[in-house]
Structure 1
Amino acid sequence: MKPVKKNISRPTGRAVLLAALLLGAVGCGGPDAFKVSEACGTKVDPDLIGQLLPRGEKLKTKDTFSEPKQPRCEFEVDGQDVVGLRGDVVEPFIKPLEINERTMLRLGNPMPADVGDGATISDHAAMAVQACTYNGEKSQYILVIDGVEDPKDTAERRRILEEFLRSQLPVAMAAEGCRP
C-alpha cells in the first residue's frame, strides 16, 4: 500500500507547477511601452506619448518636413510609420477646428475638449488651438497628433490624447516661440 501523503502531494505538486507556469506566462507579456522624452525638437511627457505608441522592438523618431513655424515628426515602430505629431503657427483669422472638421470626423467620433482655446479629440487623432504672439504678431498655434491606434480601448485612448494635448500644447508653443 502506498502512503497517502505521496498520493496527495503529486496532484498538489502538479497544481503548484501549473500555477507557476501560468503566472510566468502572464509576466512574459509583450514589450514595455517606449519612453520618448523628445519629439519634433521639444520635450514630451515620456509616459503619455509612450502609451499612445504601439508596443514593439524598435522605435525611431524622425523629423519630416520641419521648418520654422511648422515642426513635424513621425514615430516609426518596427519599420512602420504609426503616429504623426505636428505643430503650426498660423494667422489668427484661420479656423483650424472648422477646416479639419471632416478629417476629424473620418478619424472617428470627434468631440470638443477643454484644452487651449479649443480642441477636438477623435478616436484616432487630436487637435488643439491656442492664440499666441509670434514675432510680435497675433497668431495661433495648432498642435495635432494623428495615426493613434493605442491603447486599444478607445475611451482610454481618447483620455490619454486629451491629457497629451493639455500637457504638450504649452511646451510646443514655447519651443516655437509662440507666447500666450
Structure 2
Amino acid sequence: MRTTKKNLTMPVRGAALLAAVVVGAAGCSSQEKFEVTDLCGRKVDSALVAPFLPEGETLKVDDDISAPEQPRCKVSVDDELHLYVRGNIDKPGFDLLKASERSMRRLGNPAPADGIGDGATIADHGAMAVQACTYKGEKSQYILDIDGVDLPKDTAERRGALEELLRAHLPVIMEAEGCRP
C-alpha cells in the first residue's frame, strides 16, 4: 500500500513543480515594448522609432558618440543594435548620394525617395537624405544617414518606416544643428 501512495504522489508533485516552473518563467519574461522620444539629442515622435524596436528587457540610446556638427546615436535593445542615426554638416557641391551609392547597395536595393530634402535614398536596411542649407552664414549641406535596421521583418514595411522617419527627422535635426534650408 505504501508503494501505491508513493506512486500517486509523485505525479501530483511533478505536476505542481511543472506548474510552478511555468508560472515562474512567465513572470521572468518581462519583455517590454520601448518608447524612444529622443534621437541624437533631438525630439522625435516615438511612433516613428517604434517599428524598428523589438520587445526586450533593456533599451539603450547611446548618443555619447556625437560631436559638434555630427550628431550620432545608436539604439539597442538587449545589447543588439537596431538603429544607427548619423548627421553631418558638409560643404556643398559634393553629390553625396552618388558617392555613397556603393555603401547604400550593401544595405540592399537602394531606390530614390521623392520629396525628402534635395535627394534621398531608401534601402532595405537603411536610408540617407541630403538637404542644402546655410550653416554659420556659409552654404552647406546636411546629410542624415540611418542604418542598422532589420525590423520590421517585412521589407516593404521596413522601407516605409525608414522613409517616414527620414522625412520627419531631417528638418528637426537640421534645425537643431542650426543648418537652415
Measure how far apart 1:41 and its partner are. Answer: 0.9
Aligned to 1:163: 164
Once superposed, what is the RMSD of the aligned Cα atoms? 1.6
The one-letter code of the counterpart of 1:138 is K
Deviation of 1:31 after TM superposition, in Å, equals: 4.4
Q: Structure 2: which amino acid aligns with 1:41?
A: G
User: 1:145 matched to which residue of 2?
Assistant: 146
1:80 equivalent in alignment to 2:80: yes
Residue-by-residue CA offset, 1:23-48 (whole Å, 9 max, x unaligned)? xxxxxxx9454211001110111011
TM-score w.r.t. length of structure 2: 0.80
Normalised TM-score (structure 1): 0.80
CA contact (8 A) 2:32 2:57 kept: no
1:77 aligned partner, one-letter code: V
Counterpart-to-counterpart distance in 2, 1:105 and 1:151 = 19
Does the aligned pair in 2 maintain the 1:33–1:51 contact within 8 Å?
Answer: no
Which stretches of structure 1, 4 residues or more, deviate above 3 A after TM superposition? 30-33
Indicate conservation of the 8 Å contact 1:59/1:77, yes or no: yes
CA distance in 2, matches of 1:72, 1:110: 22
Task: Provide structure 2 residue ranges, at least 5 long, that are not aligned to the other structure.
Answer: 1-29
Kindly provide the CA deviation profile for residues 43-100 of structure 1, in whole angstroms up to 9, marking residues without a partner as x: 1110111111232221110114311110011011102223200100000012110111
Letter in structure 2 aligned against 1:134: Y
Contact 1:74–1:85 (CA under 8 A) maintained in structure 2? yes
Q: How does 1:90-105 map to 2 (within 5 A)?
A: 90-105=90-105
Residues 23-172 of structure 1 aligned to structure 2 (within 5 Å): 31=31, 33-114=33-114, 115-172=116-173
The CA distance in 2 between the partners of 1:152 and 1:165, in whole Å, is 19
Residue in structure 2 matched with residue 17 of structure 1 by the alignment: none
Corresponding residue SS for 2:168: helix
Paired AA for residue 155 in structure 2: T
Please say if residues 64 and 74 of structure 1, whose CA atoms lie closer than 8 Å, have aligned partners that are also in contact: no
User: Percent identity over the alignment?
Assistant: 60
1:116 deviation in Å? 0.8
Letter in structure 2 aligned against 1:119: A
Gaps in structure 1 of 5+ consecutive residues: 1-29
